[in-house]
Chains A and B, each alone.
Chain A
Amino acid sequence: MDVFTLSLWALRLGFLVLVYAFFVFVARALWRDLRAGVSGAGRPLARLFVISAAEGRPEPGTSIPLDAVNSIGRDVNNSIVVDDSFVSAEHALLTFRGRAWYVEDRGSTNGTWLNGQRIEGLWPLGFGDEIQVGQVRMRLDRPPEVTS
């Protein structure tokens, strides 16, 4: 094997190696994106803990992650579907506005209750407050701490 043949081989393999180096760099970028995604964006703003439900739906003890806007009701198009016979199709709205959480009744038949009092219109609420719709009692909880 003379020098020319060897260097031709080196160039050929070098091209393939460099193309695969591209993949390595892309994979590193993807890995960083994934890491960034885990620590930031995917985290819910808060959780809704189900304290008790007379008809067992949603199951007591479960914790529902919340977005900025959450509609509560029996209709399947709500972001939180509460399948309870005393809950209206479009029952209440739970929203995060700026820095605080608000709950709003959407003209439900049996009302929305905040810490044992029936509410009308828009009411602010904090972590640990209790909401009752129909026969379902739920509590607003802090979002889970990020472990990584």
Chain B
Amino acid sequence: MSAAVNALGRVGIRPRLRRRELGLLVLVMVALTVGWASYVSFRDGHLELADTSALATYFVALLAIHALFVLSGRRMDEILFPTAALLAGISLIMMQRLPQDLVTQSVGGATLGLGQLQLFWILMGFAIMAAVAVLVRSDGWLRRYKYTWAAAGICLLLLVFVFGDVTGGARLTIHIGPISGQPSELLKVILVVFLAGYLAENRALLASASTRLGPLRLPPLPYLLPMLAMWGIALAIVIVQSDLGAALLYFLVFLALVYVATRRVSYVILGMGLFLAGGFVLYELVGRVQERIDIWINPWADAQGTGYQVIRALYAYGRGGILGTGIGAGLPQVGNVPSIPAIHTDFIFAGVAEELGMIGALAILGLYVVIAQRGFRIAALAIDDFRSLLATGLTLVIVVQAAIIAGGNLRVVPLTGITLPFVSYGGSSLLVNGAVIGLLLALSDRGVPPPVPGTHRGMRERIGRRARALGGRVESALS
């Protein structure tokens, strides 16, 4: 053993054991195996453990990533990865269990069903997570080019506005050749990177209030502009894309980050006021907003039409009860489709709540609480403002999204179509959320020094000096 470690040390690899992570991963694998056995046994009518290839592939991938983390030798958080692994594992079982023809894609003659596609995307998402976690050593590329990031985000948004395809009434999918994706998932990360950079730089200015508006004390007006711009972008997303979920997510994460950066409740009150005002206007103007809110208030008004899925989800909670029907025993089909058509994407929480019961649904929510705790801990221990705000924002992106869609499923808030991170089916969502967890892991390794302040300005001065020298040479050549 020690000889092997010495040999690794010679090639520059210093492994660091991660016992806690390994223990949790083993527990996750045992739990998922038992869950899978309960499904297969119910399906086939006798005790057995069959069709384990997807699960086995998943387990091998988890152990491989764990081994990679150990070999990388970074002091990263050991709880985030097993938590995401448990969420994705539950998703894998549910997707294998649902009718496979909900989503199909033919690749080179073979037709892949829902379960296989989800396995593929989970593995890709975790691969991105591992790559980001191991490779991202410096955050300079995120920190310095914040306006570039913002510009990229706005380009992405415009791209969707112009070329986006309409799925389920919302314009959010883009097709480039054979690849299709939902840029709004990527946009949320870009937004957080930009906001973290902007707020870390202007924090002191934003926190010192100088303008008074009634009982509210506000910062100098120019610094309010990004806030209004953000509000405008959220409204534009609602009007042009009819993507209520993304707009709500962006705005809530934005408000939370501003509050974290400045500790001023007045911003939150102002933001909420703007939000409510915008909401009222949109309710009158945009049919989709009105429809969603009407469904939320009374789904039975149009039980066979717009309110159908929401009502079916409510029935599912009733059937599930406290302990659930058991995996495989719930989710009745109407004709050939599940009674909730979007069960694999927007309504996966209702599906889990039916088959695993209230206990299982609470466990899912609890896993997001664990992610929140780890993420905020990473933020609290971060070396500087930028990293702290970045970690906060990345955590919020996952947790707030889970809260919005779980709340929508439960008819606590109006339903908006976004994914439940790591559980819903969907390539874009899994890839981006994998990258988010990867960034959080990279940020949790505090051995990486922050960039030396002023190097950026140094570069600017160097370029300026070169430009002046060039100008001087041109002048002397002319005279």
Chain A interface residues (CB < 8 Å from chain B): 4, 7-8, 11-16, 18-23, 25-26, 29-30, 33, 76-77
User: With A8-B326, A22-B28, A30-B373 known to touch, is A15 a contact of B35 (CB < 8 Å)?
Assistant: yes
Residue B153 CB within 8 A of the other chain: no
> B370, A23: Cβ atoms under 8 Å?
yes
In the complex, what's the smallest C-beta–C-beta distance from A128 to chain B, in angstroms? 32
The answer to the question of B20 belonging to the interface, with a C-beta cut-off of 8 Å to chain A, is: yes
A29 contact from B30, B37, B79, Cβ within 8 A: B79
* Interchain CB contact under 8 A, B31 and A33: no
A41 to chain B: closest CB distance in Å? 8
Query: A11–B23 contact, CB under 8 A?
Result: no
Residues from chain A with a CB closer than 8 A to the CB of B407 are none
Chain A contact residues, majority secondary structure:
helix
In this complex, how many residues of chain B approach chain A with their Cβ under 8 Å: the count is 36
Contact A11 B27 (CB under 8 A): no
A4 to chain B, nearest CB (A): 6
With the chains together, A74 CA to B219 CA distance in Å? Answer: 22
- Asked if A19 and B363 sit within 8 Å, CB to CB, the answer is yes
Measured CA separation A13–B45 after assembly (Å)? 18
A-B contacts, 28 of them at CB < 8 A, read: A4-B45, A4-B46, A4-B47, A8-B41, A8-B42, A8-B47, A11-B34, A11-B35, A11-B37, A12-B323, A12-B326, A13-B323, A15-B327, A15-B356, A16-B324, A16-B357, A16-B359, A16-B363, A18-B30, A19-B31, A19-B360, A22-B24, A22-B82, A23-B363, A25-B23, A30-B373, A76-B208, A77-B204
User: When the two chains form their complex, are residues B363 and A20 in contact, meaning their CB atoms are under 8 A apart?
Assistant: yes
B247 at the interface (CB under 8 A from A): no
Q: Is the CB of B324 within 8 A of A12?
A: yes
Question: Is there contact, CB below 8 Å, between A8 and B79?
Answer: no
CA distance A22 to B89 in the complex (A): 13
Point out the residues of chain A lying under 8 angstroms from B326, CB to CB.
8, 12
Q: What's the Cα separation between A30 and B370 when bound, in Å?
A: 10
Whether A12 and B38, one on each chain, are in contact in the complex, defined by CB atoms closer than 8 angstroms, is: yes
Residue in B20, B47, B86 whose beta carbon sits within 8 Å of that of A7 in the complex: B47
> Quick check: is B83 within 8 A (CB to CB) of the other chain?
yes
Give the Cβ gap from A30 to chain B, nearest Cβ, in Å: 7
What is the distance, in angstroms, from B373's C-beta to the closest C-beta of chain A? 7
A83 to B140, CA, bound (A): 38
Kindly list chain A residues whose C-beta atoms are within 8 Å of the C-beta of B78. Answer: 29
Query: What residue of chain A has the Cβ atom nearest to residue B369's Cβ?
Result: A23
Once A8-B41, A16-B360, A30-B373 are accepted as A-B contacts, the answer to whether A21 and B27 lie under 8 Å apart by CB is yes
Interface centre among A8, A19, A76 (most CB of B within 10 A): A19
C-alpha spacing A26/B24, complex, angstroms: 8
